[in-house]
Structure 1
Amino acid sequence: MRIERLVTMANDIATYFAVEPDHATAVNGVRDHLRRFWEPGMRRQLKEHSLAHDGEGLLPLAREAVDALEMPRNDAA
């Protein structure tokens, strides 16, 4: 999937959680949504983008959530 689309989708999720008064809860909400509903390849692509391009295009809340994602080791690679 195009990274621009993934960034837009992550930002939409972050916008939804931005009204949460507790910042940590908001970050966890975005992170948990990505973990539950996104395919591993989508999460990996977004995480790699965040690391390689300093989260370019991501809202701060989305960036924090993506940075908090733990990616499982891929022993096949």
Structure 2
Amino acid sequence: MDNQNLIDMANRIGDFFDSMPDREEALAGIADHIRRFWEPRMRRALLAELDHPDASGIAMAGIVKEALVKHRAQLTPATPATV
């Protein structure tokens, strides 16, 4: 998984929602888009990048970081049950 590409995609989503006048609606929109359209593996990698940013990678936009922190619970994929 290319974390730089994930951050770039998340930043582009953030750019779209950043133009909304309602900040809370924008944050929810970013989180909802990522939750609905990104597979669990991608969301895990993005959240891991939030926790441990790669110094050599692309900087995550402020609005994206804020959305991930605020809506982390809904973005965190469920852990598969072990049998």
Same fold (TM over 0.5): yes
Q: Which has the higher contact order (CA 8 A, sep 6+)?
A: 2
1:10 aligns with 2:41: no
User: 1:61 and 1:72 mapped to 2: Cα distance?
Assistant: 21
Which deviations, in whole Å up to 9, do the C-alpha atoms of 1:3-41 show, x marking residues without a partner?
Answer: 000000000000000110011110000000000000000
Letter paired with 1:30: I
Structure 2 residues without counterparts, runs of 5 or longer: none
> How many residue pairs were aligned?
75
Which of 59, 62, 67 aligns to 2:61? It is 59
User: 1:50 and 1:35 mapped to 2: Cα distance?
Assistant: 16
Identity over the aligned pairs, expressed in percent? 36
User: 1:39 and 1:73 mapped to 2: Cα distance?
Assistant: 12
SS in 1 for 2:42: helix
CA RMSD of aligned residues (A): 1.8
User: 1:37 and 1:72 mapped to 2: Cα distance?
Assistant: 13
Farther-moved stretch of structure 1 (63-72 vs 8-17): 63-72
Farther-moved stretch of structure 1 (62-71 vs 40-49): 62-71
1:50 is matched with 50
User: 2:33 and 2:72 mapped to 1: Cα distance?
Assistant: 11
User: 2:44 and 2:37 mapped to 1: Cα distance?
Assistant: 13
2:72 is matched with 69
Structure 1 residues without counterparts, runs of 5 or longer: none
Shift of 1:53: 2.1
User: 2:64 and 2:30 mapped to 1: Cα distance?
Assistant: 7
